[in-house]
Structure 1
Amino acid sequence: MTNPPHSPAVQLTEHALAYLHSAALRAVALLDVADHLADGPRTAEELAAATGTDAGHLRRALRILATRGVFREDETGAFHLTPTADPLRSDAPSSMRDAIVMLTDEPFWRPAGQLADTVRSGHTVFDDLFGAPYFGHLERVPEAGAVFDTGMAGLAESENDPIAAAYDFPASGTVVDVGGGRGGLLRQVLRRNPGLRGVLYDQESVLRHHTLDIPELTGRWQTGSGDFFTAVPPGADVYLLKRILHDWNDDDCVRILRACRAAMTRPGSRLLAIDAVLPPGNDAHPAKTMDVLMMTSLNGRERDEPAFHHLLAAADLKPSRTLATESTLSIVEAVAG
């Protein structure tokens, strides 16, 4: 029997309450429910005993997630991992557990609740709520900074190898990962291209947790700390900017790109802006969701291809091509203008 379509009123109500799906997803991530399902299905009572929670309330949280394919409840009342829920395991390959905790953390959801004020004013209300801009808040509140760093590393794990595989890097030379966090992308680039050396460039507090110190990369990498608004390590063959430009407004992006352009002193040096490229039309796309997140908390934005070209031209960089990857991100390549 097929259920009749919901009325517009019911559909709008469901849209209005969609934040409850996010709340339930955050709860089960924090409680590591998926870890307890790795060996097979369990009832809400069994999961509650394992997680120290109330069985009735836990079942209700799992039930709403099951309506979207995150977990599945069978006729016996046992819950199963689904392909969508499996990455919530903390030990899953490319685990999304920490990323989900970050994306549902207070610095993101609280400003989203005042989106109307952001739309009225044309800028985020984050400073008013937290007393500092987003990244300044992370510096002042180490706990929030730790959630961000681990969450971004988790979010990136599913993206890094597809990006490294999509681009024809030179056989030798140096790659600088600007604002590269813990180095996940640079690690994959160096793994795939044994003739390259790499520099991971970020703030010192982030670099302390880098992931480059593995046997197969011995002697092929170094770290450097500084402010990418003013300068980046010069003389490299390739500069990477992954999920950097979408954090910032156009003026700040041009400052970052000009710092990179000044460092591109080697003939043939290339810059790779790695971000989502917004498609036209009304079809759903992850970048359209992420664009609103950038607007509410960071004064950043996702961009279409002409917008990237505009930024690059303002920094005396010439766009050469845009490459799709098997992730939601694309590679916008540029050379010195």
Structure 2
Amino acid sequence: MSAASERAGALISELRNIVSSGALSEKERVELLQSVVKFTTLLEKPEDAITKLLYTPSRFVALRVCSELKLFNQIVEHGPITSKELAHATGVDQLLIERLLRVLTASDFVTETAVATYAPSGVTEALATRLMTGMVEAVYDVGLPGMTAIPEYLRNTSYKNPHDAANGPWQLGRGIKDQQIFSWLQQHPRELGLMQTYFEADRGSRPNWVDWFPVEEKLIQNSGLDKDQVLLVDVAGGRGHELSAFLDKFPNLPGRLILQDQPHVLDDPTLGLDPRIEKKTIDFWVEGPVQGARIYYMKFILHDWSDEQCLQILSHLTAAMDKSTSLLVVEDFIIPDTGCHLLPAMWDIEMMAFLSAMERTRSQWQKLLSAAGLDVLGMYDPPGDGTGIIVSRLSS
């Protein structure tokens, strides 16, 4: 082994020890990850970096097929397991399994222990869960047509920034017109279920806002709430996963917790909510949420829509707010003017593909909320590369 290889091996071992020790904060972890990416870029020749990027879709294809075949579950439950054993368990061609998993072992998504023999890595274990399976299938099955249509859409519109949620890249990729993705999903139950799982899982392993944001200090202190008043309304909160996390963190806070969404979401038989969480339907295009709550919480809602549509939604919400006590808490990406992390930058293009929408910068959030008659009390960046928190109240 060369001296350079030995130094690299020692560096990798040191890095592995640091990560496995759990000593890194989320901020340090993300900063270190950025440094590793820069180190990789330094080592990789430009032409090789471009070639690898061009062939990246093959990894997503392998991931999607293996997810559908439940190969990750088999590897987690029975690994180390051979391709022959996987073929017997699934009824899938053995050679096909080897070709698919070759891409994923090379990506360190699956561990290769011997010839055509596979064991689980941490990524494999994650891919065997309901949430990550749903994420993979949702992005691939629902989202990819919009992503692949972006170049054609932009050519057709003389490279105007997309803004029409009913006629954007996603509609072009699907071959439909004048229909937003959310109404399409109501007509396609399988894809709707995938997207609801996606919304449950989209935080990934990044810390929940209740674990890093000073909730009691900034939102609860001196509120004077009793058990019969509404503490928190999760507006368009899907399966209620964010409310559940809030309740787990603050089980003894007084006040009611209310999940509001459309009937087809709240009627989902898989919805297993704590009985302390109330369900109430809402169509935020035509009505406001429950009146007079202390906190109205919206995660990944306003980033779905243009400023004009957001103002329509917010006009109904602000009409429900109490001028002296209510707060609006928006959880979303807050794009910095420079030095944006890769995740929110990529998410921004996803929003373009799905909804002709976008992630907003700090100044864009300020402008939008001010136009809605709200005073921004603070914008709080997360400890890593995830979503931030914006707190506002009715303008005085």
Q: TM-score, normalised by structure 2?
A: 0.76
**Equivalent residue, structure 2, for 1:89:** 128
Whole-angstrom distance in 2 between the partners of 1:282 and 1:85: 31
Q: CA deviation at 1:158?
A: 4.6
Distance across 2 between alignment mates of 1:142 and 1:10? 42
Displacement of 1:321 in angstroms is 1.5
Q: Which moved further from structure 2: 274-283 or 52-61?
A: 274-283
* Residue 334 of structure 1 pairs with residue 392 of structure 2: yes
8 A Cα contact 2:98 2:116, kept in partner: no
Partner secondary structure for residue 137 of structure 1: helix
Question: How far 1:75 sits from its partner (Å)?
Answer: 3.4
Rounded Cα–Cα distance in structure 2 between residues aligned with 1:223 and 1:50? 42
Contact kept, 8 Å, 2:169 with 2:352, in 1: the verdict is no
- Give the whole-Å Cα distance in 1 for the aligned partners of 2:91 and 2:243: 40
Whether 2:182 is the aligned partner of 1:143: answer no
Query: How many angstroms apart in 1 are the aligned matches of 2:318 and 2:101?
Result: 50
Match of 1:291 in 2: 348
How many angstroms does 1:178 deviate by?
Answer: 0.5
Q: Which has the higher helix share?
A: 2
Q: Please report the RMSD computed on the Cα atoms of aligned residues, expressed in angstroms.
A: 2.5
Deviation digits for residues 208-230 of structure 1 (CA, Å, limit 9, x no counterpart): 1274533xxx3x33111121123
Supply the AA of the counterpart residue of 1:267: S
Aligned to 2:176: 130
Whether the 8 Å CA contact 2:82–2:118 is kept in 1: the answer is yes
1:117 aligns with 2:152: yes
Contact 1:184-1:211 at 8 Å conserved across structures: no
How far is 1:166 from its partner?
Answer: 2.8
| 1:1-337 matched pairs, under 5 angstroms | 7-39=45-77, 40-90=79-129, 95-105=131-141, 107-120=142-155, 121=157, 122-123=161-162, 124-128=168-172, 129-131=175-177, 132-156=179-203, 158=205, 162-167=208-213, 168-169=215-216, 170=220, 172=225, 173-193=230-250, 194-195=252-253, 196-209=255-268, 211=271, 213-214=273-274, 218=275, 220-230=276-286, 231-265=288-322, 267-281=324-338, 284-325=341-382, 328-337=386-395
8 Å CA contact retained: 2:261, 2:281 = yes
Residue pair 1:202, 1:225 contacting (<8 A) in 2 also:
yes
Q: CA deviation at 1:324?
A: 3.5
Shift of 1:71: 1.0
Is the Cα–Cα contact under 8 Å of residues 66 and 72 in structure 2 kept in the other structure? yes
- Answer yes or no: is the 8 Å Cα contact 1:134–1:298 preserved in 2: yes
How far off its partner does 1:102 sit? Answer: 0.7
Are the aligned partners of 1:275 and 1:331 in contact in 2 as well (CA < 8 Å)? yes
Aligned AA (1:197):
R
What letter is aligned with 1:38? V
Higher mean alpha-carbon deviation, 107-116 vs 191-200, is at: 191-200
The unaligned stretches of length 5 or more in structure 1 are none
**Structure 1: how far apart are the matches of 2:326 and 2:62?**
47
How far is 1:198 from its partner? 0.9
Q: Tell me, which stretches of 5 or more residues in structure 2 are unaligned?
A: 6-41, 163-167
Identity %: 25
Paired AA for residue 134 in structure 2:
D
Taking the aligned partners of 1:232 and 1:330, their CA distance within structure 2 comes to: 23
Q: Distance in 2 between matches of 1:9 and 1:16?
A: 11
Letter in 2 for 1:119: L
- CA distance 1:164–1:284, change in 2 (3 Å): closer
Q: Secondary structure at the match of 2:101?
A: helix
**Residue type of the partner of 1:101?**
E
**Paired residue type of 1:99:** M
- How far the C-alpha of 1:283 sits from its partner, in A, is 5.9
Change (3 A) 1:279 1:59: farther
1:7: Cα distance to partner? 4.7
Query: Aligned partners of 2:83 and 2:354: how far apart in 1?
Result: 36
TM-score by length of 1: 0.88
- Give me the whole-angstrom Cα distance separating, in 2, the residues matched to 1:31 and 1:280: 43
Structure number, greater radius of gyration: 2
Equivalent pair of 2:330/2:391 in contact (CA under 8 Å):
yes
Letter in 2 for 1:162: N
Report how far residue 42 of structure 1 moved: 1.4
Note closer, same or farther for the CA distance 1:81–1:279 as it changes in structure 2 (3 Å cut): farther
Q: Which amino acid aligns with 2:52?
A: E
Task: Output the CA distance in 1 between the equivalents of 2:339 and 2:59.
Answer: 23
CA distance in 2, matches of 1:282, 1:265: 38
Q: 1:250·1:311 contact (CA, 8 Å) conserved in 2?
A: yes
Q: How many residues align?
A: 328
> 2:37 is matched with which residue?
none
